[in-house]
Amino acid sequence: MIWIFNSSPLIYLNKVGLSQIFELLEGDNLIPLNVYEEVITQGKLRGDADALISEELIAKEVIKVVRVETEFKEMLKGLKDELHECELEVLALAKAKSGVAILDDGIAREVGKVFKIDVHGTLFMIFLMLKKGVLKKEEAREKINSMIRKGFRLGHSEYLEFIDLVESI
């Protein structure tokens, strides 16, 4: 499996101490160059601790940085008003590599679905670790709550759906 991460999943999973997720995933973990710039280069300038964690994952080759130059990316540029450059690159790379795009923006996920790209978000990664037995139910709830306290945007109904899903396991 090839996993392509956008900025927010990378940032928030690292902010709440879940960097081991990247090491436990089977397959390749990729980020586009623009995600690297946003998360690590700009994050270090802001003094974000999660930027250092992401940089370490790259140094250990748990995550690889990839330059994205595809015709599909060029085609998506018409959506620049709706999607951030990082989201465009994540979708383009996922399409090119037949990978899974991990991003949280609703519009980006809808665009991915239109183009038959496998798309999921940060909550999916936590759910996956819960299913694999890496996290316990209480830990998953605590991590989501911690992410929200640190700025992760999640609607009330989405939160309740996720908690119900956690409880159903």
pLDDT reported for residue 45: 96
- Among 115, 131, 106, which Cα is nearest to 6's? 106
pLDDT reported for residue 79: 64
Cα 159-86-162 angle, rounded to 5 deg: 10
**Would you write out the chain's pLDDT as a tens digit for each of its 169 residues?**
999 999 999 999 999 999 999 999 999 999 999 999 999 999 999 999 999 999 999 999 999 999 887 676 566 666 666 788 899 899 999 999 999 999 999 889 998 999 899 999 999 999 999 999 999 999 999 999 999 999 999 989 999 999 998 988 8
Provide the residue ranges of all domains of the chain, joining segments of one domain with +: 2-123, 136-168
* Beta strand pairing call for 118-120 and 2-5: unpaired
- Which residues, at least 6 apart from 77, have a Cβ–Cβ distance to it below 8 Å? 88
- Token pair 């809808």 is found at 110
The superfamily CATH assigns to domain 2-123 is 5'-nuclease (3.40.50.1010)
Structure-block tokens of residue 10: 């990378």
Structure-block tokens of residue 115: 């183009």
Tell if the pTM clears 0.95, that is, is over it. no
pLDDT reported for residue 82: 72
